[in-house]
Amino acid sequence: MNSEGRKPYQGILATIGNTPLVELKSLLPGFGSRVFAKVERFNPGGSIKDRSALRMLIDAVSSGELEPGRSVVVESSSGNLAVGLAQICRYFGFRFICVVDGKTTEQNLAILAAFGAEVEVITERDRATGEYLPMRLRRVRELVATVPHAYWPNQYANPLNPRAHEVTMREIDDALDGQVDFLFASVSTFGTLRGCADHIRKAGLDTKVVAVDALGSAIFGLEPTQRLIPGHGASVVPPLMDPDAPDEIVHVSDVDCVAACRRLVGREAILAGGSSGATVAALQRFRDRVPEGSNCVLIFPDGGDRYLDTIYSDAWVQRNFGEISHLWKD
């Protein structure tokens, strides 16, 4: 990686990682600890999923298992991983078929089209959970079984997904000289949180890991229900889930995410996505358990520009939650 930014990068994929760690000084007035955000929107595909996408494909590219003009990458995604994979596939010349669903934002769909990805949108929800993920996975398995030379990275079970985020945590560790007291990370495939926890264990850090899950997510044993914020929580327990990875678990609602995102813009001028807002909401709820003088790090997986028609749309918020602006106005 070109961490100094002084020499030319060798292609766009070399810019993945080394994202900024930003101190948030106005987010929680009166809070006796420092708060930092790992801002992953600065990856070239716009999210933390670029790290996972590259890590899951690069070894297969190097070994020749993935061949330009022959191999077909097939994956399920709610949006961000799809964009990361689409960029990498376009860079190497692979055909890419992505199975998304009705919660995928229009912005992400437009980006996928610009990269030349073939997109299948699942509109039928699973009857048992009310969610799209089981139906997306079923369609991916059908494609892998029928499309010649199909290659499924399988972000939900691939150990290279969390391995990518050992690097994410190492960057945070290096930036704060090992003084990371609390890490707040939202969960979905469990790649980010597990990878960060793995680095914490290997490095012998005293960091407490707080998993931020969605209400209505099945990951930590709740009854799965329909949710509105993509990329946060899951309707099935991901194979990568490690119950020992987090020290604490905080569940937040869709309303919590929306209010926290709006508050983040108002107080820090950061336009972030729903799972970023989830970590803000979790810290707010957890703040009384944080000893004074601690360093708290929140992972912000993506930016808010892909949520302008949802989280940052007054009409969408009003339609789904009613009048809730009092939750973020000072």
The yes-or-no verdict on residue 90 having pLDDT over 70 is: yes
- pLDDT value at position 7? 79
The per-residue pLDDT for range 241-280, each reduced to its tens digit, is 999 999 999 999 999 999 999 999 999 999 999 999 999 9
Share of residues in the chain with pLDDT > 70 (%):
98
pTM: 0.93
The per-residue pLDDT for range 282-308, each reduced to its tens digit, is 999 999 999 999 999 999 999 999 999
Please report which confidence band the pLDDT of residue 4 belongs to, taking 50, 70 and 90 as the band edges.
Answer: low
Which of 213, 263, 206, 259 lies closest to 238 in space, CA to CA?
213
- pLDDT value at position 30? 95
**Which position has the higher pLDDT, 227 or 15?**
15
CA distance linking residue 283 with residue 152, whole number of Å: 35
- pLDDT value at position 330? 66
CA distance linking residue 93 with residue 149, whole number of Å: 14
